[in-house]
Structure 1
Amino acid sequence: MVRFAALLPLAALIACAPVPGVDAGGSASTGGALFVANKFGNSLSKIDLASGREVARVDSCANPHELATSPDDAHVALACYGGTSVDLFRTSDLARVKRIELGENARPHGIVWHPNGDIYASAEGRKSIFWIRNPMADDAETFEFGTGKDGTHMLAVSPDARHAWTVDMGSKTVTLVDLLTRRAPRSVEVGEEPEGIDLAPDGETLWVSARGSDMAFALDPQTLEVRHEVATGDFPLRLAIRPQGDVAVTSNLADGSLTVIDLATAKPLRTIAVSSRAEAEDRQQVTIVWSDDGSRVYAAETGSDTIAEVDYASGRVLRRLATGDGGDGLAIVD
Structure 2
Amino acid sequence: MKQIKNPAPFITISACLLLCTGFACSAQSSKQFLLALSKRDHTLSIVDASTLQVLGRVPVGDDPHEVIASSDGKTAYVSIYGGGSLHTINVIDLVAQKRLDDIDTKPLLGPHGLAFVNNKVWFTAEGSKTIGRYDPLTKAIDWAMGTGQDRTHMIYVTNNAKKIYTTNVASGTVSILQDTPVQRGNFAPSKNAPNGQPNGNMPPPPANFQPPVNGGQRENREQTLITVSHGSEGFDVSADSSELWTASAEDGKIYIINLSAKKLAATIDAKVNGANRLKFTPDGRMVFISSLGSGNLAVFDAKTHKPIKQINTGHGAAGIIMQPDNTRAYIACTADNYIAVIDLKTLEITNKIDAGGEPDGLAWAIQ
TM-score in terms of structure 2 length: 0.75
Match of 1:314 in 2: 346
CA distance in 2, matches of 1:198, 1:127: 20
> Kindly, what percent of the aligned residue pairs are identical?
25
CA distance in 2, matches of 1:152, 1:264: 28
Confirm whether residue 196 of structure 1 aligns to residue 234 of structure 2: yes
Match of 2:89 in 1: 86
Report deviation, 1:299: 0.4
Asked whether the 8 Å contact 1:288–1:298 carries over to 2, the reply is yes
- Which runs of at least 4 in structure 1 moved beyond 4 Å after TM superposition? none
Corresponding residue SS for 2:148: coil
Corresponding residue SS for 1:303: helix
Report deviation, 1:35: 1.1
Match of 2:55 in 1: 55
Q: How does 1:1-334 map to 2 (within 5 A)?
A: 32-82=32-82, 83-104=86-107, 106-114=109-117, 116-133=118-135, 135=136, 137-138=137-138, 140-179=140-179, 181=181, 182-221=220-259, 223-232=261-270, 233-265=272-304, 267-275=305-313, 279-280=314-315, 284-333=316-365
Deviations 1:197-251 (Å, cap 9, x if unpaired)?
A: 1112322211111111212121022543111222333322111112222322111
User: After alignment, is 137-146 or 192-201 more displaced?
Assistant: 137-146
Match of 1:18 in 2: none
Deviations 1:121-144 (Å, cap 9, x if unpaired)?
A: 1111110111223x2x14554311
Asked whether the 8 Å contact 2:170–2:230 carries over to 1, the reply is no
CA gap of 1:183–1:71, structure 2 versus 1, over 3 A, is: closer
CA gap of 1:332–1:139, structure 2 versus 1, over 3 A, is: closer
Deviations 1:158-191 (Å, cap 9, x if unpaired)?
A: 2321111111111111112234543542222202
Corresponding residue SS for 2:167: strand
Asked whether the 8 Å contact 2:318–2:332 carries over to 1, the reply is yes
Asked whether the 8 Å contact 2:252–2:275 carries over to 1, the reply is yes
CA distance in 2, matches of 1:251, 1:108: 22
Pick the structure with more helix per residue. Answer: 2
TM-score in terms of structure 1 length: 0.82
User: After alignment, is 63-72 or 198-207 more displaced?
Assistant: 198-207
Report deviation, 1:330: 0.4
Asked whether the 8 Å contact 1:274–1:310 carries over to 2, the reply is no
CA distance in 1, matches of 2:44, 2:364: 13
Q: In the comparison of the two structures, how many residue pairs are matched?
A: 294
Asked whether the 8 Å contact 1:257–1:271 carries over to 2, the reply is no
CA gap of 1:183–1:140, structure 2 versus 1, over 3 A, is: closer
Structure possessing the higher radius of gyration over alpha carbons:
2
Amino acid at match of 1:192: H
Asked whether the 8 Å contact 2:171–2:230 carries over to 1, the reply is no
Report deviation, 1:293: 0.9
Asked whether the 8 Å contact 2:243–2:259 carries over to 1, the reply is yes
Asked whether the 8 Å contact 1:127–1:146 carries over to 2, the reply is yes
CA gap of 1:191–1:46, structure 2 versus 1, over 3 A, is: same
Corresponding residue SS for 2:251: coil
5+ residue gaps, structure 2, are 1-30, 182-219
Corresponding residue SS for 2:102: strand
Aligned CA RMSD, in angstroms, stands at: 2.0
Asked whether the 8 Å contact 1:118–1:132 carries over to 2, the reply is yes
| Structure with greater contact order relative to length (CA < 8 Å, sep ≥ 6) | 1
User: After alignment, is 160-169 or 243-252 more displaced?
Assistant: 243-252
Asked whether the 8 Å contact 1:158–1:199 carries over to 2, the reply is no
Asked whether the 8 Å contact 1:155–1:198 carries over to 2, the reply is no
Asked whether the 8 Å contact 1:272–1:315 carries over to 2, the reply is no
